[in-house]
Structure 1
Amino acid sequence: MIDRILSAYVKKLATWFPVVSITGPRQSGKSTLIQNVFSDYEYINLERPDVRANALNDPVSFIENRSDRLIIDEAQYAPDLFSMIQTESDRRGTTGQYILSGSQNFLMLKNVRQSLAGRAGIARLLPLSYTEAQGSAQKPSVDEFMLRGGYPRPYDVGIDLDAYFDAYISSYIERDVKDYLDVRNVDDFRRFLRLCALNAGNLTNYTNIANDLGVSFRTVKSWLSILESSYILFSLPPYFKSAGKRVVKTPKLYFYDTGLLCNLLGIHSLEQLLGHDMFGAVFENLIVAETAKHYYNEGKKPELYFYRDSDKQEVDLIDMYESAAPKLLEIKSSRTYHDRQGRTLAKLGGLLGVPRERCAVIYRGSGPMQLEQYAVINATEYLEFDCPDGTLPGTRAEVGPAAL
């Protein structure tokens, strides 16, 4: 059992709301988490055909005859239950009555918003973070974590990664995508996933993807929407301080899990990853995704952006969660620091009004170093995220309390 950071927030939600809804990608560990955190609750799973049939045929009796502390896993399979849960939870007027979980997030959230608005606290469980993976027997390095990713099952049973991700992709397509999208050719959707992987860390060009697949622009937008709502990938929007500034307005594309990303790129070993043309993009994806995961695990909504203007000046990641103290991060996959890696960072820090204490280069070498205009932080230290005061991690003790 690997401790999940989200557990603390989920417990809080159950003291604030009558219903708690936990979403996230398939096989991210939702069922394990809720059964561990709410071990004294009655547990039912609508994946079972007989249980699902009872819920669909008589939702009133299904809810009324159950415990007043109830977990319903894969709740989206019986949408009529949500209205009954609303009625019953209002009647009792207490917190922590129902814990709902589901992998088909577009259906789960639709039902929660329609029937349980204002009554349900929502949490998102993503694959293991780097910090959580350190609680496993494997204790992967940053490079190993990039390849393995954070889905719990490979950590639990030591399954071959290729076998795991091949099964995961097949199951995802068969169980989710075909039911909710007009995917006539499964091979087209597999090629679409691989094209998304090849575009990781790049501006999202819907037209190019559509042309490569031979499908419409609208189809690509629809498929991307499903992948985003299923927490497979996400878009990083551009940041611009002034509407009059000429900046890029197209978002970038990233995967929540670099293990899945590596599999789609045909990367099967650590040696292959380190020598791959996409290694820099995978490392950037790791830092961006882990930053987002950090906020979700604490029950917060990430406010993350990138910056690129018409002069090709760019910063990989702007963390605006604390709007009064934004952070600028340049992400480099090298183990060696060079002055040129931070030149744009220093310049844009001044342009965007971000002081040097909030600017850093994240790289794979040793660190940290506090330079005149920014810090240089080792990726391992950054991914620890032990920064309760909102500072950039991994630098305070080494460079003094006035630094990052």
Structure 2
Amino acid sequence: MIPRSALSTLQRLARGFPVIAITGPRQAGKTTLAQQTFADKAYVSLENPEEREFAESDPRRFLARFEDGAILDEVQRSPQLLSWLQGIVDARKRMGDFVLTGSQQFERVSGMTQSLAGRVGRVELLALSTQELAAADRMPARLDDMLFQGGYPALYDRDRNPEDWFANYVATYLERDVRQLIAVRDLTQFQRFVRMCAARSGQLLNLSALGADCGITSVTAREWLSVLEASYLVVRIPPYFENFGKRLVKTPKLYFLDVGLMCWLLGIRDAETIATHAMRGALFETWVVSEFVKQQLNAGRPADLYFWRDNVGHEVDLLLETRDGLQAVEIKSGHTFASDWPASALKWQKLSGSPLAPWIIYGGEGEYERQACLALGWQAFAGRPAPNR
């Protein structure tokens, strides 16, 4: 197993909360991490029909079996347990008593926010980060291989073809998770929607245009997008609203959280295709953004990522909140540093008065200073910790 950065976060939270919740996309390694971190606890999967029926018919007796706590896997399948769990952990007053895992954001699980408010320490676990892969000496040597494979642990556990694995992953997601979250009559149409979202990763989100391209209303597009977010497949990055004297874009940008899945949805079936693909820039940007999201979530913190764009085309791809101010990040897929890359970031730095030198993350190699910016090749970025946040 590749060691996970979230391990220390889980251990910290287990000292201060009676219930620990690990959420994230399917196959991200939630169960493995829970069992590794809390090896002394009993494990129950609520995907098991017998266990689920027991939990639904007699939740009090179901939970009474676990005098030393337990790992309850896929707890969104039996949300009625949560109100009973509240009484147990309140009576015991034992930290790290129960560990819950789920492949949906728990805000969508009935009773989570009401029943366990203030009692839950949460970690949102995404696929493997490149820092985790680099530490385990498992990171692909070529950028295009990294973009093609993505970060799901199953693709690093054994010799699997990403094309085969993602095909089955998407089919399972559509047949199980989507049907649990919403009533979709036409799964083929929903799959088309997912593919159209992949084609828009890194772009401003226009729900009306997205819905029109998929033959659905903007209201339905909004609902379906919320399902993708709840399943940890996509994230919306909001714009930074600080007024610097110009009209600012106020529409969020959409990003996939695993670039390998994005490749599959775009019809890319081998890494060599990426080098000349029209979406290569979007794939690289998606990878960088998802890495920053993973770093924050692994530490148990909200993402707190933004972008900035004014009405005349100046744009900074990412703004990160740090202890020292906002860190500007420009993302370029090119292999060779170009002199015009820092222009927008330096303009933003001047307008904002930020003391932090912008980062330029690009598809080449090395780490050096250039034009008052820190240039980071993709491998240097992969092995570098996030700014002090």
Question: Counterpart in 1 of 2:184?
Answer: 183
Separation (CA, whole Å) in 2 of partners of 1:130 and 1:143:
13
Deviation at 1:177, TM superposition (A): 1.1
- Is the CA contact (8 Å cut-off) linking 1:325 and 1:358 kept in structure 2? no
Alpha-carbon distance in structure 2 between the residues aligned to 1:169 and 1:118: 35
1:17-36 paired onto structure 2 within 5 Å: 17-36=17-36
- After superposition, the C-alpha distances for 1:324-373 in whole angstroms (9 at most, x for unaligned) are 42111111101101111112221221012223x43121112233221342
Question: Deviation of residue 380 (structure 1)?
Answer: 1.5
- For structure 1, list consecutive stretches of 5 or more residues without a partner in the other structure: 392-404
Aligned pairs for 1:300-379 within 5 A = 300-322=301-323, 324-355=324-355, 357-379=356-378
CA contact 1:363–1:377 (8 Å) conserved in 2: yes
Once the two structures are superposed, residues 194-238 of structure 1 have per-residue CA deviations (whole angstroms, 9 ceiling, x without a partner) of 110111111111111111111111000000011011110011111
Q: Does 1:93 align with 2:93?
A: yes
1:124 lines up with 2:120 in the alignment: no
Structure 1: distance between partners of 2:206 and 2:68: 49
Structure 2 letter corresponding to 1:329: V
1:384-399 superposed matches below 5 A: 384-386=383-385, 390=388
- Structure 1 residues 237-276: aligned runs within 5 Å: 237-242=238-243, 245-276=246-277
RMSD (Å) for aligned C-alpha atoms = 1.7
Q: Deviations over 1:2-50 (max 9, x none)?
A: 1000011001111100110110011100000000111111111111111
- What is the TM-score when the length of structure 1 is the normalising length? 0.92
Asked if structure 2 preserves the Cα contact closer than 8 Å seen for 1:345 and 1:359, the reply is yes
Contact 2:127 2:258 in 1 (8 A): yes
Q: Specify the code of the residue in structure 2 equivalent to 1:368.
A: E
Q: Does 1:12 align with 2:12?
A: yes
Which SS does the other structure have where 2:319 is aligned? strand
**Kept after mapping to 2: 8 A contact 1:86/1:115:** yes
The percent of aligned pairs where both chains have the same amino acid is 39
After superposition, where does 1:287-298 map in structure 2 within 5 Å? 287-298=288-299
2-structure distance, mates of 1:352, 1:135: 36
Matched residue, 1:398? none
Amino acid at match of 1:308: R
* Distance in 1 (alpha carbons) for counterparts of 2:218 and 2:243: 30
Q: TM-score, normalised by structure 2?
A: 0.96
Offset of residue 145 of structure 1: 1.8
Note if 1:52 corresponds to 2:52: yes
1:395 is aligned to: none
Asked if the contact 2:20/2:98 (under 8 Å) is kept, the reply is yes
- What is the SS of the residue equivalent to 1:241? coil
- 1:386 to 1:106, Cα distance in 2 relative to 1, 3 A: closer
* Equivalent residues in 2 for 1:214-225, closer than 5 Å: 214-225=215-226
Q: CA deviation at 1:136?
A: 5.0
Question: d(CA) in 2 for partners of 1:107 and 1:40?
Answer: 28
Query: Shift in Å at residue 73 of structure 1?
Result: 0.7
Name the CA distance, whole Å, in 1 between partners of 2:241 and 2:104. Answer: 34
1:79 aligns with 2:64: no
For 2:371 and 2:77, the matched residues in 1 are separated by 57
SS of match in other structure, 1:370: strand
| Partner SS state of residue 95, structure 2 | coil
The 1:137–1:351 alpha-carbon spacing in structure 2 relative to 1, beyond 3 Å, is closer
1:103-145 per-position Cα deviation (integer Å, ceiling 9, x unaligned): 1335665432121001111111100001112355643134322
Deviations for 1:308-330, whole angstroms, at most 9, x for unmatched residues? 101110111111243x4211111
The alignment partner of 1:316 has SS state of strand
Which amino acid in the other structure matches residue 191 of structure 2? Answer: R
Contact 1:367–1:378 under 8 Å retained in 2: yes
Amino acid of the structure 1 residue aligned with 2:234: L
SS in 2 for 1:183: coil
Structure 1 contact 329–345 (Cα < 8 Å) conserved: yes
Alignment partner of 2:341: what SS? Answer: helix
Conserved 8 A contact 1:14-1:20? yes
Unaligned runs of 5+ in 2: none
Q: How many residues align?
A: 388
Counterpart-to-counterpart distance in 1, 2:163 and 2:99: 33
1:279 partner letter:
R
